[in-house]
Structure 1
Amino acid sequence: MWRDGDFRRLWLGQTVSQLGEHATLVVLPLFAVLTLDAGAGQLGVLRAVGQAPILLLSLFAGAWVDRWRTRTVMVLTDAGRSLALGAAAVAALLGLLGLPSLLVVAFAVGALSVFFDVAYQTSLVRMVTREQLVRGNSALEGSRSAAQIGGPALGGALVSALSAPVAAACGAVFFALSFLSIRRIGRRESVPKQSDRPPRVWRRIHEGLRFVAADSLLRTVCLASAAFQFFFAAVMTAYLLFLPRDLHLSGAVVGLALAATGPGALLGSLLAARLPHRFGHGAVLVCAAALGDGVFLFVPALRGSSVATVCALLTINFVFGAFSQLVNVTVMAVRQTVTPDGMQGRAAATINFVGMGLTPLGSLLGGFLTAEWGTRTSLLVTAAGMLLSPALMALSPLARLGRTLPASRG
């Protein structure tokens, strides 16, 4: 697989794109909190605006990607994100980057990221054989893990040590590098054949929704993902306030703590290539989700900015990164295996829509609970809510999957 130059270009482009995305996810909230003195409610709104495109655009992205070359989609979205962050950097240098401008940038980057994520998940299916999907997903998710290592730390350090314009410009450069790498992919994709008069977009969206809803495995993936993403968004809103304001950690230390999910996720990607085939996909999914989500229950007990506190945060984020990535890679392999080629984009988009569509509401809930109850109580309640996800998996056919995945439903 690694001898394939086009796969390497996809891997490299996806890696630097994810690095820019994860840096931006830290840069914008920290700029709002540390520079604009945004409160809990304002931070919740900022995060919700950045996540709203998942709810608004995922289904359209899936219907579109199934009819276009994924390379074209990824190149265009990388260019758009680079321009959006470049404009933000210029606005910040001119002293014009206020909260309204941040909302516009967050929405634009979030919207383009929706299309990029659906496209890169679909591109692998068109590039490798089904027998290579687990290895291919492990490689791509491993690169995303590397981005999680560098992205948050780099974003936090740049905001803390330099300036928001430099941090935004850094994200723009990474998206530009991804653009240059992916546009060099020369392989002609096996895009599913379309009829002379393809169905209208709403009909194609309905076909994707109906396919996922009718499949017990994909239906469970949607519900479990929705529960996790809703409460995780609420957790992160409180978390990004808890670290700098309650624990009095600097932007660089916050970035370092968040970056610990990266090496954990890298380990999770490696484990995903082995554990499901040894212990069964269902058992791995349920156990990994319970351990990864449950570790956040320890966060509210932390106090002060001592070395012990920072070490505890690093450990918590490392464990979360390892087990959540193990779940991500395994779930993606399940979805790609049971889905026919002509439905890959719509299936991925439908799961993103249902699974992550509630994240804006979760972010708003996190901001509301933090303002009303304080960060510690809201962290405890929302972290407990994350355990609903492994509970749904344990009660579903997903938990009974063995070492071998079922064949495509198409």
Structure 2
Amino acid sequence: MIAGKKKGCQGRTTMPKESANTQQYTRPSTRFGALWHYPDFLKLWTGETVSLIGSQVTTLALPLTAVILLKATPVQMGLLNAVGFAPFLFLTLFAGVWIDHHRRRPILVATNIGRGVLLGLIPLFALLGMLRIEYLYIIAALAGCLTMLFYLAFQAFLPTLLPREQLVEGNSKLSVSQSVAEIGGPGLAGILVQWISAPLAVVVDALSFFVAAGSLLLVRTPEPRPAASIDLRSLLPEISEGFRVTFLNRYLRAFAGEAASYNLFWQVILTVFMLYAVRELHYSSGIIGLLFAVGSVGALCGAALTSPVARRIGVGFTILGAAALSDATLLVLPGITSSTPGALGFLLGAFFLQGIGITGCNVHVDSIRQTLIPDRLRGRANASYRLLVSGALPVGALLGGFLGAWIGLRLTLLVGALGLLSTWLWIVFSPVPKLRSPSTLVDELATSALEKPGETNVGMLD
């Protein structure tokens, strides 16, 4: 139940050793990709696509419930967004170590079922006339805990399902699903909000989580045996090992810094944008849904174009250009002061280009991270990364809410847009632009201590 397009939050990261994959790989003679021959990936992909569509309905319906039905203030909107992300800030490190010691598929099933139950409470309370902003805070916080567990477990589960050479295709297909969901989801949400009201529209998301849980139950590929039971005496050393993997590696550190700063300022924008669009621009839920849908068309284009572009100019320059594109386009937001067709056209163009940039960057970043992090460190390394990247979200939400109340909605949009413009510098001042292909990282990794159990040195250090 996390709203908005974010860096580094998409299904989305780490790598198995080859022995972890028990599903046989046969290179097909089809141009549509090898993964059409992986039944278990298709089950996972189908369930996630349904869930992503449902979550896009909540992305629009939940804040509109707060804005329209509960008359939320900027500070209340900031708090609502922040509590959903707070678990990433406070629980991620411990959850990452815990996930390393448990099989990931049962965790994915349980968190999907739990989120379906929690979101189902919103339409139920609305029908009973009991819905209050405080209840939304509690539901968002609990769902945020389950979402945090789901993200960490998913990032560790996907590479056990696919061989290394298919991770880019797997991430691309998941990105396409994300984009398709974001194209259809907001439009569906806009229709549902106008037809049955915002809180009742959330029932679509609740049902989608049960579909995703069912698809995971059908997966038959066995997981590698998890690590031994957690020894409390080793908890802090294991957490610190995850930090070393993430922040001593030049590539992972650059990706974490760029994604965290992007998420911080994007959340500043997102927290006040819904208020600005409804109260200042007087947009309907349908128009707001159209903006997010067009942004997702851009994301779909980015997913389709990023691999061919990378083959021509290299992965590093593709990541750099995509990051710059996603950062610069939203500078138009504070300049939109009316709801004229021309102003709407500028907004549509900005969201479209942002979508291209985000997905064009994410596909390659996810695949590189999956290449660099071995199975035994997956949960804790992703947890340290997630602490920074997703931990920036509640900070951005609170900052956006308080700035909106203090300096106004439009100036807050300007602060967020200027902040976004600086985030690509993390990529500029890193070795990423020189990277031609992730295969060169595999060669370096083969001789690094990162693959060797019992050693904590990280390959490719400064």
Instruction: Give the TM-score normalised by the residue count of structure 2.
Output: 0.85
Q: Is the CA contact 2:242–2:382 (under 8 Å) kept in the aligned structure 1?
A: no
| CA offsets 1:124-146 (integer angstroms, 9 cap, x no match) | 21011111111111111211111
- What are the equivalent positions in structure 2 for 1:145-164 lying under 5 Å apart? 145-164=179-198
- Following TM superposition, by how much is the alpha carbon of 1:274 offset from its aligned partner in structure 2, in angstroms? 2.6
How far apart, in 1, do the equivalents of 2:306 and 2:371 lie? Answer: 15
| CA offsets 1:256-309 (integer angstroms, 9 cap, x no match) | 211222221111112233322331222111111111111000112223223333
List, as ranges, runs of 4+ consecutive aligned residues in structure 1 with deviation greater than 3 Å: 191-203
> RMSD across aligned C-alpha pairs, in angstroms?
1.9
Matched, 1:168 2:179: no
Q: How many residues align?
A: 410
- Following TM superposition, by how much is the alpha carbon of 1:198 offset from its aligned partner in structure 2, in angstroms? 9.0
Q: Is the CA contact 1:297–1:384 (under 8 Å) kept in the aligned structure 2?
A: yes
How far apart, in 2, do the equivalents of 1:50 and 1:58 lie? Answer: 13
Q: Is the CA contact 1:221–1:351 (under 8 Å) kept in the aligned structure 2?
A: no
The one-letter amino acid paired with 2:421 is L
Look up the match of 2:406: 372
Show structure 1 runs of 5+ residues with no match. Answer: none
Matching residue within 63, 78, 81 for 2:97 = 63
The one-letter amino acid paired with 1:21 is S
User: Quick one: structure 1 residues 133 and 233, their matched pair in 2 at CA, closer, same or farther if it must change by over 3 Å?
Assistant: same
Q: Is the CA contact 2:102–2:227 (under 8 Å) kept in the aligned structure 1?
A: no
- What are the equivalent positions in structure 2 for 1:386-397 lying under 5 Å apart? 386-397=420-431
Matching residue within 233, 238, 241 for 2:275 = 241
- What are the equivalent positions in structure 2 for 1:3-402 lying under 5 Å apart? 3-194=37-228, 200-402=234-436
User: Quick one: structure 1 residues 194 and 279, their matched pair in 2 at CA, closer, same or farther if it must change by over 3 Å?
Assistant: farther
How far apart, in 1, do the equivalents of 2:59 and 2:340 lie? Answer: 26
User: Quick one: structure 1 residues 162 and 236, their matched pair in 2 at CA, closer, same or farther if it must change by over 3 Å?
Assistant: same
Q: Is the CA contact 1:78–1:179 (under 8 Å) kept in the aligned structure 2?
A: yes
Higher helix share: 1
Deviates more, 1:5-14 or 1:393-402: 393-402
Q: Is the CA contact 2:100–2:227 (under 8 Å) kept in the aligned structure 1?
A: no
Deviates more, 1:77-86 or 1:381-390: 381-390
User: Quick one: structure 1 residues 125 and 241, their matched pair in 2 at CA, closer, same or farther if it must change by over 3 Å?
Assistant: same
- Following TM superposition, by how much is the alpha carbon of 1:91 offset from its aligned partner in structure 2, in angstroms? 0.9
| CA offsets 1:177-222 (integer angstroms, 9 cap, x no match) | 1111111111112245548969744332222112212211111111
How far apart, in 1, do the equivalents of 2:404 and 2:438 lie? Answer: 44
Find the residue that maps to 1:95 and give its secondary structure: coil
Look up the match of 2:12: none
Deviates more, 1:192-201 or 1:51-60: 192-201
Show structure 2 runs of 5+ residues with no match. Answer: 1-34, 452-462
How far apart, in 2, do the equivalents of 1:22 and 1:199 lie? Answer: 41
How far apart, in 1, do the equivalents of 2:419 and 2:346 lie? Answer: 22
- Percent identity, aligned pairs only? 38
Q: Is the CA contact 2:241–2:381 (under 8 Å) kept in the aligned structure 1?
A: no
Find the residue that maps to 1:207 and give its secondary structure: helix
Q: Is the CA contact 2:60–2:186 (under 8 Å) kept in the aligned structure 1?
A: yes
Q: Is the CA contact 2:331–2:418 (under 8 Å) kept in the aligned structure 1?
A: yes
